[in-house]
Each structure stands twice: as C-alpha cells, then as structure tokens.
Homo-oligomer: A and B are copies of this chain.
C-alpha cells in the first residue's frame, strides 16, 4: 500500500483535480482560494501524505525560513541561553535556527559566515562588532539581514548592552565599599569587544575615583571556571594583593570565590568579588555573587525579533540597547579597616 516515492506537489494537484499552482497556494496563501477547493486540496494532501520539499521551496522562493547564528562557543551558559531564546522565538514564527561557533577565532568566524551565507539563510545573528574585514565585506555584499549582539556598530542592526557601563557598575560598587586596590580577571581581549568594554568601563570608574587598574592587576584567562581560578590565584599571589576582584564574566567571579575559599580566604571578608552576567549559578553560590545583570535571554529574543522584522521588511538597522543593573548580593563587602589581617596562607584542605 506504499506509494513508490514521496508525494509531490503535482501528485496532489492531480489527485485533487486542480493545477499545481492551486496546491502551492493552498499551502502558502490559503486565503486566496475558495473554501471548497482548499478543502479538496487538503484532503488529497493528507491522503497522499504530502510534505512540501523545503529545498525546492527555498530555491523557488528565495526564502529558506532559516536564520543562522554564529557564536564564539556553544559551551557557555550565556550563549546557550541566547540561542535557546532565539530558537523559541524563531520557531514560533516558523523559522529554524542554524548554529555555528568559531572558538574565538576570527578566521573561523569568517569561514562560518561564508558557509552559512552560501547555504542560504534568511538572516544572520553574530556576536560583537569586532571581526575580520573580509567578514564584514561578505555580510555587506550578501544583502542578508544581520543583527549584531552585545556590541554593535552603525552598519548593522544590533541588540546591545552597555558593556563599559557593566564594568563601571561593578567597579563603582567596589569603590563605594571602600576598596582601593582592585584586580580584574578578564577574557582574552583581542577579538572580544565585550570583555574589552567591561575592562575599559572598570578602568573608567577607577580613574574617576582617582585610582587605577594597572595591567599587573588584570589577568587575562580563557572563559572557563578554571580560568577564573587561575586568574584569582595569580592576583592573590601578588606581593600586594587586591582586596577585591571583578570577574569579566560570572564564571570568573565564581572561580575566584572558589579559589579564595580553597585557600582559606573568606569571601567577602577577606576578598570581595563582583561578576558580570548574572548566570543562574551566581545566586546560589555561598556567598551569593554580587553581579551586574545582563538580560541574556532577552538579547536572544530581541535579536530574533529584530531579524524577523528585517526579513519581513518591517524595519531596518534597528538598534536596541537593553538595560543592565547591579544586583547586590553578598560576595562583596565593605573594607573593614585600612589594612587587612590576612596573610596569603595556602591552606588547601
């Protein structure tokens, strides 16, 4: 009882006694058909188990109903969350999400852009505005709607967050608590305008307070928990150790807390820690992490909506800047005295 091949549009048309055009319309713009015809077509389609062929449809219409997203890495709460939000928003609108990652490698990102463009996507989401010249050229000439996230530029639509301000908020909080000697653990700066921005913001706040954040107090690390720990370790091993550390991402801040605790340094009494992101884990740390909340899911959702708006031609090059805010919890405290009573004892249990 099995038809020899997959049912095609013409098969349905034949079965329903109408033209292929009519079947096509029945699928895509049912309001153009009379109710009876529509019913007849649907009935035939169901009987034959017809499923439209996406590739043929894409070729003929020029639309793939697919949006691409290229993120630095999938293995990150942050990007996973954004992708999740994008995915559900897109699905609701009938789009699919094609993902690629570049592992912080500009050339790989360019390559990914090239493939996704060739493959045919109706829109493209990218992280940050800092990329290879060639990549930007590709995007420009492709004519495909693009949305940048976290950081943007004037050329494309963007859903941003003020990364400098995030760094500033974190630093200012520490300054307000009386800290004068502050360190920071950040991701590798080249090709990462989010981290660069946060560092710049922290520096700005410090400078305004008559303080500074010398390179010696900034540790660049890979974006992992281990990175946070080793960054913290480096800072704590300094001759004059900082009384507070800012994590460029929450993961770093969490790593800092863990490293400090495993050395017997009490947080926040012996070391204040502030992060940026406000990931799920942060609220559950002991002590709970004071951090700057970045509306990650909302970035994803807004990016998806922006892309769709561009695809459907409703709007172009829209810029949305999402608000951020300091979330005060208990990992940062006021300096108790002019001097600290801790000596860098490395008492790992």
Count of chain copies: 2
**Contact A80 B76, beta carbon cutoff 8 Å:** yes
CA distance A88 to B65 in the complex (A): 24
Q: Say whether chain A's binding surface is mostly helix, strand, loop, or mixed.
A: helix
Q: Contacting A119 at CB < 8 Å: which of B65, B116, B224, B225?
A: B65
Interface residues of A in 76-132 (CB under 8 A from B): 76-77, 80-81, 83-84, 87-88, 91, 96-101, 103, 112, 114-120
A238 at the interface (CB under 8 A from B): no
Q: How far is the CB of A284 from chain B (nearest CB, A)?
A: 5
Judge whether A281 is part of the interface by a CB distance below 8 angstroms. Answer: yes
Count of chain A residues with Cβ under 8 Å from any Cβ of B? 55
Binds B, one of A50-58, A190-198, A333-341: A50-58
| Complex Cα–Cα for A98 and B84 (A) | 13
A286 cross-chain contacts in B, Cβ below 8 A: 258, 261-262
CA distance A112 to B94 in the complex (A): 11
Flag whether A285 is at the interface (Cβ < 8 A): yes
Could you give 10 example pairs across A and B, Cβ below 8 Å?
Answer: A51-B118, A54-B119, A66-B98, A66-B119, A74-B83, A76-B80, A77-B80, A96-B100, A225-B281, A254-B284
Closest 6 CB pairs of A and B: A74-B84, A54-B119, A55-B58, A80-B80, A55-B59, A75-B84
